[in-house]
Structure 1
Amino acid sequence: MKITIVVVVYKENPEESKTFRTLRNTLFLKQDLVPNIELILYDNSPDQHSFNPLDYEGVHISYFHDPRNLGIATAYNFAWSIAKENGSQWLLLLDHDTELTVEYFNQFGLLTEMSNDVVAVVPRIFSENTMISPVFSSSLRPLQEKRPVAGLQTQPVMAINSGTLIRVDFINELNGFNESFPLDFLDHWIFFTLYKNGHTAWLLDVTLEHELSVMDYSRVSLKRYQSILNSEINFYKNYKKELIPAYRLQLVKRLVKQVLTVKNKKIALYTLKRLLSI
């Protein structure tokens, strides 16, 4: 069984990222897995970093610099093309800030036992003592609901990208990752489509730590907020349509909060503009 791994970094030397450092201390030491692994470091930074794959003997590593910074969907599609070429059965998606463990990679032996209907395999992800992934996808506020337990997930769930293994055959079925979600809500789209197409996911009985990116209106730029909101609306308007009434109400509440508490009023004005378009 062959696995392609893609780690997407931005404005950070790949070797200094938490993900690469923990890969080096876990996966690189597992002689049973390393020969069947192809690791792609996809760097969206403006400037290329100095990285020599030959510094790591026995591990097939490729480094690609893409200063266009088109987001993670483009990076994932690049990795998908490589996975098809090298005959990988699975593609592992990783951000730069996930802490990987030996226990996680020990679970990879289960992949050969998975039914073909299982097209995504995910770990539990915790951030600051809270399980943030996977969550049941029937609610707009899933972190306030009960969490899935390990095993087959017949009830639809959504898991964050980092740490998720996806069957290459399933990505082929989708004809790649949806680049209308270049960065945000791509994970929502993946798992929505997974269940819509009659597949299932598997939750491993293993936990990883991940630094959750939380939107802070005092630091987020208008451009970044626009990107997040556009992807969010795209998902609920065109895919998870049954949640549109609840989502519209949530946007109204968000707008009121922004008017009252957010200094940059252009953010509230953009929320109002997009709210009226739904």
Structure 2
Amino acid sequence: MKIYAVLVIYNQHLSDCPSFYSASKESDVQLLVVDNSTDELFQNQEEARRAGAWFLSMDGNQGLAKAYNAAFDFLRCKNGDWVVLLDDDTEIPKEYWKELQKAKPDSIQLPIVKTIREQMISPAEIRFDLPRPAKELNAIKEITGINSGMAIPKNLTDSYRYDERLFLDFIDHQFLKDMKNKGIKICILPVQLRQRFSADQPEKSAALVRLQIQMHDLSVYYQYAPWKYWYLVIKRKIRLALQLRSPEVLWYG
């Protein structure tokens, strides 16, 4: 079975990415690194080459949707069974690859992803087209999930294009919605990944830039339902204001 793993990296050294280490050690996995870095300090091409990985430079941060489209274009004429999407801050155990080898490539596979605080962030569920954490896996009525560790049958990536108006957020939810509309089955892969977030207390200016990106992407995703956009934006602003202890965040943007 042939597995392609796509790792999009941004202003980080490959040596600091646990998912890079995991995928590069698997003989049945061909890794493709897509580099969105803007800082010349991060020169990852040579490290990717030494690990036997393919490398694509996006010549700056073009966003996640464009990076995934570039990866799918690169892989389109290549034979294989799976395309796995990897985050640079996710720990991938060896059991993940073993379980994926057992799965038949006729459905999308979502692993169980938890934070270091044991909060499950994927799979999640959809209620009224709003994603929310799932309390129990067997209680999910309409499933969704995040990109990290998502395994997609290769034939589906050959014909799919991400909406490049989405820069970073809700790309995963849009993809899974599109797949469900096509009748593609989504299954849970019985293995657990660990997501490492860079900081629980982000630096304010970076957090505001991140909020601006979220607001843009939410406006695209919920262009048909403005109230859902405002519901999530206000919710995220309140959370960030409390996290930063900065009430002025509520009026940002």
TM-score (ref. length: structure 2): 0.82
1:37 aligns with 2:29: yes
* Deviation at residue 121 of structure 1 after TM alignment: 0.7
- In the alignment, what sits opposite 1:121? 109
Q: 1:41 to 1:193 in 2, by over 3 A?
A: same
Match of 1:78 among 70, 95, 112: 70
1:268 aligns with 2:251: yes
Secondary structure at 1:142's aligned position in 2? strand
- In the alignment, what sits opposite 2:179? 194
Unaligned runs of 5+ in 2: none
1:138 aligns with 2:127: yes
**Aligned counterparts of 2:90 and 2:80: Cα–Cα separation in 1:** 22
- The number of residues matched between the two structures is 245
Unaligned runs of 5+ in 1: 271-278
Percent identity of equivalent pairs: 24
Q: 1:123 to 1:226 in 2, by over 3 A?
A: same
Match of 1:160 among 146, 169, 172: 146
Deviations 1:109-162 (A, max 9, x none): 223x35x3x2x111100102111101111264622x423249xx8x43111111
Q: 1:81 to 1:190 in 2, by over 3 A?
A: same
Q: How does 1:1-278 map to 2 (within 5 A)?
A: 1-24=1-24, 28=25, 30=26, 34=27, 36-46=28-38, 47=40, 48-50=42-44, 51-53=46-48, 55-56=50-51, 60-111=52-103, 113-114=104-105, 116=106, 118=107, 120-127=108-115, 128-138=117-127, 140=130, 142-143=132-133, 145-149=134-138, 155-174=141-160, 176-212=161-197, 216=202, 218-238=204-224, 241=225, 245=227, 247-252=229-234, 262=246, 264=248, 268-270=251-253
**Aligned counterparts of 1:23 and 1:219: Cα–Cα separation in 2:** 33
**Contact in 2 for aligned 1:124/1:203 (Cα 8 Å):** yes
Q: 1:137 to 1:212 in 2, by over 3 A?
A: farther
TM-score (ref. length: structure 1): 0.75
Query: What value does the CA root-mean-square deviation take over the aligned residues?
Result: 3.0
With 68-77 and 216-225 compared, the bigger mean Cα shift is at: 216-225
**Contact in 2 for aligned 1:73/1:183 (Cα 8 Å):** yes
* Deviation at residue 22 of structure 1 after TM alignment: 3.1
